[in-house]
Structure 1
Amino acid sequence: MDNPPGLHIGQPPGDDALGDWRHVHHAVVPVQPLSLAEVRERAGRNRLDLARAGGVLVGSTTVRPPRDGVATVIARVLPAHRRRGYGTDLSAHALRRADALGATAIEMCVLASNEDGPRFARAHGFTESDRYVLPGSTIPWVDPRRE
């Protein structure tokens, strides 16, 4: 399945693009700020992609390679661009990447306080498999899973 016309999804090649990925992360997950060095480290072990529609940054994806067959896919859409189908397109893109890496099950990772995330996961056939609070935080994370 190709990306819809006008939507371009691709891997950040350098620090400017990684800075854009970081911007999307901070806008959607403000409780977990990352330095550029931390984003570079993530880019070394995960597949990070940016999404632009008509040249405008709308979101990002992360695909964590499978461990014991389970890959984690994360699709983030900037709040101003939600409810336009970008989340579905980004999720499908990330799922294709995870499938290509040999995943037999998929997990997502969403903040429980971001009501759009858990709702999106449920609407796409995922069910909550884990809920936890990271050290130093008070906001729970939810890991929806789909076999």
Structure 2
Amino acid sequence: MDTFRRICFFTALFAAAVLIFGTAIAFVSGKAEPGTALRKKDPSPEVLEKKIQPGEAVFSHVGTIRCSTSDTPPVPLVITPYFRYSAEDRAFYEELTQKVRKIRLIIGEYTEQYTRAELLRRGEEKIKNDLTDLINRELVLGKIENLYFSEYIFFE
């Protein structure tokens, strides 16, 4: 039993040394980029509803969209978009409700055009602006101004 404990101890010690040494090399070599995948989170739809002007509402009925990138193999991506609209404009609300599937399709097709690295390089604000323009091209009765993401997550 004493030999078994020694083997376990030295194996654990070796594994810990490899992890510490590997981490140190990654940081010293400059290949480690801590925090690059972090993003400034948008306010949640509930928080945004509390801050909006009277007569405005938040449209969050698009829901969570599971899409992928053009990488090989594709990198899964989850986006949950929402935006403000005029609460008094019932016709625009109905158009938005009817075009939820189209909005989801636009977002999925957009992400499939780019790799994960390209999307990260473009930046979240550029992606939001591009998607806002694409969605507004489909809308007839009104336009959205700002697109928000409550989720924007790459899975690896």
> What TM-score range do you get, normalising by the shorter chain?
under 0.3
Structure (1 or 2) with the greater strand fraction: 1
Of structures 1 and 2, the one scoring higher in RCO (CA 8 A, sep 6+) is 2
Structure (1 or 2) with the greater helix fraction: 2
TM-score, with length taken from structure 2 = 0.26
TM-score, with length taken from structure 1 = 0.27
